[in-house]
């Protein structure tokens, strides 16, 4: 029996000719990632180990993004812990205020991940890098600590689900709508510890930003990772952003999948996940009258340049509805600069939105957009659990940048087509 794309990458990194689903392996790592919340825990775990040195100063990335710029004393102490560690071990890829960004947008932008890599990160949305044809997955801080010391990690080889994407999405349908549709279809545990492997001619019509978004939310379906084949778009992206060579792996013709789904992208509509699970989806024509108090456009899911452009296109010439707070957060400094050069920030500000420095901010209820009891927010983030963005009696509705921008203008969950 053949191997899936993910299984081939894991076999190569384990030094094995083949692996099978359920097999336990130890694999070499190309990158170990941590942020300002998870890294301090891993650093403290390292102190309990016999070895106090890192396996490779260039293969560890520490990104200060969750509570940056520091929102309180605790977050400042966490960052100081990371800063001191990075200095002590001469970590090459340490990103702090002024040069940082939201980790899962920043690492591909910096060229730190390429096709064929095996990456772990102490953040569940590390699965984002499958858009480049890499195996990447989230782990706990203890596994991060072990990875920083040994350069290795243990994995149970995942089985896989294949998603065959066909057709071309309509104007206001993006990668966010694709993954919300999938999660609504299979549920938040529909791909539990499985590799979500995307294929089909419909991939041609998805931008790299769309693919990053889709892989980013594989974890919201319970997936171990999400992964796309390496095509011309992916190769061009890597050549533009990285000086590293990359390895392309392809699934065998006889690879085994637990399930196969075919999705016609041309039939999809803008989709919204209602509280309090990403699987609780409705298409935009099923939403009804849902008035809102806040809109957040950003995060590791939808804070990239395509997202900024789409949101600005929708909001151009309009004003944010009275009583609605609209917060726009470009995911990296480079995206912030590009948005400024293209005049996108001016559109947001003239519309009545505020624009933030890159940060995870409100996504995890951190800061810069906390909700009070009874408030509703349309957000381009990835989770809408109870209390995710503030008070346990607040509500978060997940949507694309296009829907979020249109909702900011109308004051209720809306399709951007309503403003055309």
Hey, what are 385's tokens?
């659990």
Q: Domain boundaries in the chain?
A: 5-263, 272-419
Query: Measuring CA to CA, which residue among 343, 253, 260, 327 is closest to residue 295?
Result: 327
Number of Cβ within a 10 Å radius of residue 107: 27
Segment 11-37 shows an average pLDDT of 97
Q: State pLDDT tens for residues 357-392.
A: 999 999 999 899 999 999 999 999 999 999 999 999
Query: Measuring CA to CA, which residue among 247, 237, 299 is closest to residue 109?
Result: 237
pTM for this predicted structure: 0.95
pLDDT of 47 higher than 90:
no
Query: Measuring CA to CA, which residue among 123, 116, 36 is closest to residue 83?
Result: 36
From 3.30.499.10, 3.20.20.140, 3.40.50.300, 3.10.180.10, which CATH number describes the 272-419 domain? Answer: 3.30.499.10
Say if 5-263 and 272-419 have the same CATH topology: yes
- N residues, the chain: 420
What is the predicted pLDDT for the residue at 420? Answer: 76
Query: Measuring CA to CA, which residue among 12, 245, 16, 35 is closest to residue 135?
Result: 12
Q: Are strands 152-156 and 24-28 parallel, antiparallel or unpaired?
A: antiparallel
Q: What are phi and psi of 177, to 5 degrees?
A: -65, -35
Q: What are phi and psi of 178, to 5 degrees?
A: -65, -50
What is the predicted pLDDT for the residue at 308? Answer: 98
Return d(Cα 189, Cα 161) in angstroms, integer: 13
Return d(Cα 416, Cα 407) in angstroms, integer: 8
Mean pLDDT, the chain, whole residue set: 96
Question: CB-based contacts of 80: which residues, under 8 Å, 6+ apart?
Answer: none
Hey, what are 348's tokens?
């947001």
pLDDT of 51 higher than 80:
no
* Region class of 242: left (phi > 0), else alpha (psi between -120 and 50), else beta: beta
Question: CB-based contacts of 383: which residues, under 8 Å, 6+ apart?
Answer: 220, 278, 363, 364, 396, 398
Residue 35 to residues 135, 142, 359, Cα–Cα distance (Å): 19, 14, 11
Return d(Cα 395, Cα 404) in angstroms, integer: 14
What is the predicted pLDDT for the residue at 351? Answer: 97
Hey, what are 379's tokens?
């957000």
Helix 39-46 to helix 141-150 angle (10° resolution) is 60
pLDDT of 117 higher than 90:
yes
What is the predicted pLDDT for the residue at 50? Answer: 78
Is 5-263 in CATH node 3.30.300.30? Answer: no
Number of Cβ within a 10 Å radius of residue 238: 23
Q: Which pairs with CB-CB distance under 8 Å and at least 24 residues apart come from 366-370?
A: 366/66, 366/67, 366/71, 367/67, 367/71, 368/327, 368/329, 369/294, 369/296, 369/325, 369/327
Query: Measuring CA to CA, which residue among 269, 221, 272 is closest to residue 198?
Result: 221
Give yes or no for a contact between 401 and 310, defined as CB atoms under 8 angstroms apart: yes
What is the predicted pLDDT for the residue at 418? Answer: 85
Q: Give the three-class secondary structure for 35.
A: strand
pLDDT of 1 higher than 80:
no
- Band (110; pLDDT cuts 50, 70, 90): very high
Q: Give the three-class secondary structure for 39.
A: helix
Q: What are phi and psi of 169, to 5 degrees?
A: -70, 150
Return d(Cα 364, Cα 374) in angstroms, integer: 18
Question: CB-based contacts of 237: which residues, under 8 Å, 6+ apart?
Answer: 108, 132, 208
Residue 240 to residues 34, 121, 175, 181, Cα–Cα distance (Å): 25, 24, 22, 31
Give yes or no for a contact between 369 and 294, defined as CB atoms under 8 angstroms apart: yes
Q: State pLDDT tens for residues 192-236.
A: 999 999 999 999 999 999 999 999 999 999 999 999 999 999 999
What is the predicted pLDDT for the residue at 85? Answer: 96
């Amino acid at each position: 029996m053949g191997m899936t794309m993910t299984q081939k990458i894991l076999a190569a990194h384990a030094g094995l000719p083949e692996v099978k689903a359920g097999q336990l392996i130890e694999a070499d790592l190309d990158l170990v990632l941590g942020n300002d919340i998870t890294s301090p825990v891993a650093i403290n775990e390292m102190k309990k180990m016999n070895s106090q040195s890192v396996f490779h100063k260039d293969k560890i990335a520490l990104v200060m993004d969750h509570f940056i710029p520091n929102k309180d004393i605790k977050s400042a102490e966490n960052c100081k812990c990371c800063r001191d560690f990075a200095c002590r071990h001469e970590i090459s890829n340490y990103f702090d205020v002024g040069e940082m960004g939201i980790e899962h947008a920043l690492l591909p932008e910096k060229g730190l991940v390429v096709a064929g890599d095996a990456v772990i990160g102490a953040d569940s949305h590390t699965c984002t890098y499958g858009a480049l044809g890499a195996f990447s997955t989230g782990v706990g801080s203890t596994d991060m600590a072990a990875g920083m010391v040994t350069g290795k990690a243990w994995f149970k080889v995942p089985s896989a689900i294949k998603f065959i994407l066909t057709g071309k999405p309509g104007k206001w349908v993006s990668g966010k709508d694709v993954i919300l549709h999938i999660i609504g279809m299979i549920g938040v545990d529909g791909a539990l510890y499985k590799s979500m492997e995307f294929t089909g001619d419909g991939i041609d019509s998805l931008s790299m930003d769309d693919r990053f978004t889709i892989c980013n939310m594989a974890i919201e379906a319970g997936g171990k990772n999400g992964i796309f084949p390496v095509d011309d778009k992916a190769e061009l992206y890597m050549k533009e952003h990285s000086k590293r060579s990359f390895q392309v792996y392809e699934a065998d013709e006889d690879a085994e999948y637990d399930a196969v789904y075919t999705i016609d992208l041309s039939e999809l509509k803008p989709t919204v996940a209602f509280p309090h699970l990403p699987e609780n989806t409705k298409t935009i024509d099923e939403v009804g009258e849902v008035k809102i108090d806040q809109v957040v456009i950003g995060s590791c899911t939808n804070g990239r340049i395509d997202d900024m452009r789409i949101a600005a296109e929708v909001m151009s010439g309009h004003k944010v509805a009275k009583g609605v707070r609209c917060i726009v957060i470009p995911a990296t400094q480079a995206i912030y600069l590009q948005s400024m050069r293209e005049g996108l920030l001016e559109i947001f500000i003239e519309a009545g939105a505020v624009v933030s420095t890159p940060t995870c901010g409100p996504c995890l209820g951190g800061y810069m957009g906390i909700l009070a009891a009874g408030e509703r927010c349309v957000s381009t983030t990835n989770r809408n659990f109870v209390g995710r963005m503030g008070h346990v009696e607040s509500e978060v509705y997940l949507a694309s940048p296009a829907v979020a921008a249109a909702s900011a203008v109308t004051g209720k969950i809306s399709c951007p087509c309503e403003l055309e």
